[in-house]
Structures are given as C-alpha cells and as structure tokens.
Amino acid sequence: MKIERDFVYDPSLVLYLPFRELDGGSFRSRDAYGHLCTNNGATWNLNGLKFDGVDDYIDCGTGNSLNLTNALTLEAWIELQTNLVANGYILSRNLSSGLVVQYSLWVTSGIPEVQVGLENLIWDTNYVSPLNNTHLVFTFQSPNHLLYSDGVLRASQISARTLTSQNYRFLLGARDNTGATQTLFLKGAIALVRIYNRALNANEIRRLYESTKWRFK
C-alpha cells in the first residue's frame, strides 16, 4: 500500500487539494483553513479533475491565507490534452477584469509561464508534454524565481518584483476574467494542488514529487 506524505501539518501550507476522492459540486480543501471550493463543470475521474478548455473552473474563494505577499510555492500535477490551448491556466488569483494578477501559473504550448504581480516570467523550453502527467512547482522569494518539473530544477530568473496585498478570487483551471475567451481556460486535468506561503527548497520539492509520483508515473 502506497502512503502519500502530504505535509498537511506544515504551517506554511495554505491550500491543499489532493483530488483523490469524488467530492461533488463543492468541497473543502484538506489544509488547516478548509477553503470552500465550488466546482463549475470540471469532471471527476480517478486522477483528479478534467477541464474542457471552454468554461470549466473551480472557485476556491478569497480566503486571506491565499493573500501571499512575501514568498510562495505553487505546486500542481497536471496532464494536458494533445491540442494544447494557449494560456491554459492551472491556477490564478487576479482581479475580475483579468488585468491585475497577484500570482498565476499557466502553460502555453507546453511552456510554463508565471505571473507575479505585474511581471510575466516565461521559460523558453517545453517542460510539459501533452498526455503525460507532469509535476510543476514554482517558487518565489524576491529576487529568485525558480521553476521545477518532476522534482528537478529546470530554470531560474532574477527579478525584484514584489507581491502586493489583494482580495482576489483563487481559481483553478481558468483566469478570473469578465468576458473571458476560450484561451483562458485549461484543457486537461489537474490532479493535485498545494500552495505554500514560503519558498520551499530543492530537497522539499523533490520529496513532494517522490511522495506523489506513484499516482501518475
């Protein structure tokens, strides 16, 4: 029997969604904060939630613990469909106009992209292959921005960008955007999400990957 070590009692863990159970239309996150999340169209399956790339998303509210202003770690297991959709958002916390983003993680044609504050960070390598489960982690603690896939550090950037306090909705599978077009929605599956209010180190990220890969690899 496999045991997944979730680090649930890490006080820096502000959102944990393992997506191992068929939770229905609304459910609570498995962290200390119990964020109420509402499913808008995503389909449950054995590996998590499948998003159609048209209008599916999950709304986890505006909880203050998700208002990260100093440092963060964004973690997700994802599987994209063959026809990759530009700007397929994995997660985002932004103004409903879509113009101001506190932080977000998305993939364009297999290339991970992150926005922290008003700055986009784009890596020029395809780290996400369609129809393959990929473990993505992004960490930020100014000035360091680090990107990991499958437990390995792939790229880094230096930027003095800072996060400002905002009261935005946290969404999975989409970016909050009034009149959003299809390109803002994820076409694929999200199988696990964790958010931390600090930048995890390389050893911690490797352990997260090793402790969960049995579900997907």
Nearest in space to 55 (alpha carbons), one of 190, 182, 188: 182
Which of the pair, 159 or 1, is modelled with greater confidence? 159
pLDDT recorded at residue 91: 94
pLDDT exceeds 60 at position 102: yes
Please, what is the average pLDDT of the chain? 84
Helices (H) and strands (E) in the chain, counts: 1, 16
Mean pLDDT of 30-44: 94
Contact indicator for 77, 217 with CB cutoff of 8 Å: no
Residue 188: closest CA among 67, 76, 50, 55:
50
The residues near 37 (Cβ < 8 Å, ≥ 6 apart) are 17, 26, 27, 28, 29, 58, 59, 60, 61, 172
Per-residue confidence (pLDDT) for residue 115, from 0 to 100: 84
pTM above 0.85, yes or no: yes
**pLDDT for the residue 152:** 93
Tens digits of per-residue pLDDT, 140-174?
Answer: 998 889 999 999 999 888 887 778 888 899 999 99
Phi/psi of residue 138, nearest 5 degrees: -125, 135
* Cα torsion 200, 172, 184, 44: sign: positive
Whether 99 shows a pLDDT value over 70: the answer reads no
Question: pLDDT band at 2, cuts 50/70/90?
Answer: very low
Residue 94's pLDDT band (cuts 50, 70, 90): confident
- Are the C-beta atoms of 47 and 133 separated by less than 8 Å? yes
Exposure class string for 61-100: b at 16+ Cβ within 10 A, else e: eebebbbbeebbbbbbbbbbbeebbebbbbbbbbbeeeee
At residue 119's C-alpha, the angle toward residues 118 and 124, to 5°, is: 150
